Amino acid sequence: MKVSVIGAGTMGVGIAQIAATNGYEVCLFDAFDGAIKNAQQQLTNILNRLVEKEKITETKKIEILARINFSKDLKDIKGSGLVIEAIIEDLKIKQKLFSDIEKLVDENCIIASNTSSLSIASIGSACKKAERVIGIHFFNPAPLMPLVEIIPAVQTTEETLKNAKAMIDSWGKVTVVVKDTPGFIVNRVARPFYGESLRIYEEGIADFATIDWALKEIGGFKMGPFELMDYIGNDINYTVTETVFTSFYFDQRYKPSFTQKRMMEAGFLGRKSGRGYYDYSLENLPKANEDRELGKKILWRVLSMLINEAADALFLKIASREAIDLAMTKGVNYPKGLLAWADEIGINNVLKQLEDLQKEYGEDRYRPSPLLKNMVKENKTFY
Ligand SMILES: NC(=O)c1ccc[n+]([C@@H]2O[C@H](COP(=O)([O-])OP(=O)(O)OC[C@H]3O[C@@H](n4cnc5c(N)ncnc54)[C@H](O)[C@@H]3O)[C@@H](O)[C@H]2O)c1
């Protein structure tokens, strides 16, 4: 079967690499000459590195490259069984593209979008046969991150879902099925990791280094929130938060932070600009205040908010319990699934922390999910 990838940028190149590595004939299309040349160069470099590291053989590298047709002519996608779109995040442009794709492929071809923030229903609405449109959301870098969120829209048929999922499973990815709602699982449930950490900083409870230390050292997270925001880029991370916030009709739980907005406005984007929460031109980064009592307080507050998000996503049937836990461990490397973690520390303790915060601040931001309240009442656990 032939797989086409539209948009040869960061995500498109990675997705094309995965499909070709799994033996598929691939058409990697981009509307711009420069992008095609870059993609070809980038993919060759990546595969060369894999050969150097002895992850693949030279022969395998040549085979993978030979399977990919780098194209500037959209007609080359004809005959595809699956098309994955990974172009610029713009609804109008995506809709026009989906309508063009539909005219070239046959009836049974699945047309998928890798969008992070647009609704699959709105993209699918551009197609006459929207029942074969679905979201297939990879994480960056696509060849390395195991998680893929599969997002059926209201128009998508069960058959499309089944076939799309089976295909991505066969590529060795961990798939989770999620409702077509803002942020899907990962970009929704992870918001407090950044937002609550920023709030703790804004209240003067601790500095960036101390908050990062607490989450890593006591919480077991691979990276602290400020390190991670600097790595992702404050522009990108802020935009995701703002999009989730507006998409949820300004639910206070997702309210963006002025601290991060000012960082972005100042051009302190993180590692890519040399400075974010940390100044990477300095030889030594600031040291944390390694006060374990303070660290535990910080971790508790962020973790309770994360668990609240995960519980609320389950409450609203966004995805299954297993999918929500898998998404956070396989998509963003959390040390444990949040619902399993809640069982471990006691749901009553999580609820108490949220109720205390809500009482103290009087903000809707801290409202506990009804699911947590019901579970405590009924003395239930997630697993
Ligand atoms: N970068 C990430 O971390 C990430 C993660 C998951 C999902 N996504 C989503 O994947 C999509 C692509 O993101 P990206 O980071 O790879 O972007 P990118 O800017 O790196 O690449 C986009 C590519 O699309 C091409 N393009 C733009 N308009 C086009 C058109 N009309 N027809 C054909 N090609 C066109 C551009 O030339 C470019 O090569 C977006 O929807 C984004 O939300 C991104």
Active site residue 149: yes
- CB burial readout 32-48, b (16+ within 10 A) else e: eeebbeebbebbeebbe
- Indicate whether 282 belongs to any domain: yes
Nearest protein Cα to ligand 1, atom 7: 116
Residue 308 pLDDT: 98
- As a whole number, mean pLDDT of residues 154-159 equals 98
Strand order in the sheet with 147-152: 68-71, 25-29, 2-6, 80-85, 110-113, 133-138, 147-152, 174-177
Bridge partners (DSSP) of residue 176 are 149
pLDDT band for 142, please (50, 70, 90 cuts).
Answer: very high
Same domain, residue pair 118 and 205: no
Q: Is 328 helix (H, G, I), strand (E, B) or coil?
A: helix
Each residue of 18-67: pLDDT tens digit? 999 999 999 999 999 899 999 999 999 999 999 999 999 999 999 999 99
- Indicate whether 183 belongs to any domain: no
Q: How many domains does the chain have?
A: 2
Task: Judge if the beta carbon of residue 120 lies within 6 A of ligand 1.
Answer: no
Q: pLDDT above 90 covers what percent of the chain? A: 99
**pTM attached to this predicted model:** 0.95
Task: Judge if the beta carbon of residue 124 lies within 6 A of ligand 1.
Answer: no
Structural domain of 61: 2-177
Residues composing the chain:
383
Work out which ligand 1 atom sits closest to the CA atom of 34: 37
Cβ-contact 30, 79 below 8 angstroms: no
Same domain, residue pair 30 and 162: yes
Each residue of 352-377: pLDDT tens digit? 999 999 999 999 999 999 999 999 99
Same domain, residue pair 214 and 111: no
346-350's contacts with Cβ under 8 Å and 24+ in sequence apart are: 347/372, 347/375, 347/376, 347/380, 347/381, 347/382, 348/376, 350/303, 350/304, 350/307, 350/308
- Burial (CB < 10 A; 0-12, 13-18, 19+), residue 269, is buried
Same domain, residue pair 155 and 195: no
Which residue among 27, 87, 147 is best mutated to probe the pocket of ligand 1, counting the most ligand atoms within 8 A of its Cβ?
Answer: 87
Same domain, residue pair 149 and 215: no
The whole-angstrom separation of Cα 324 and Cα 343 is: 14
Cβ-contact 133, 163 below 8 angstroms: no
Last residue of a domain, one of 148, 177, 206: 177
- As a whole number, mean pLDDT of residues 102-126 equals 97
Task: Judge if the beta carbon of residue 187 lies within 6 A of ligand 1.
Answer: no
Same domain, residue pair 134 and 105: yes
Residue 218 pLDDT: 98
pLDDT band for 307, please (50, 70, 90 cuts).
Answer: very high
Same domain, residue pair 162 and 192: no
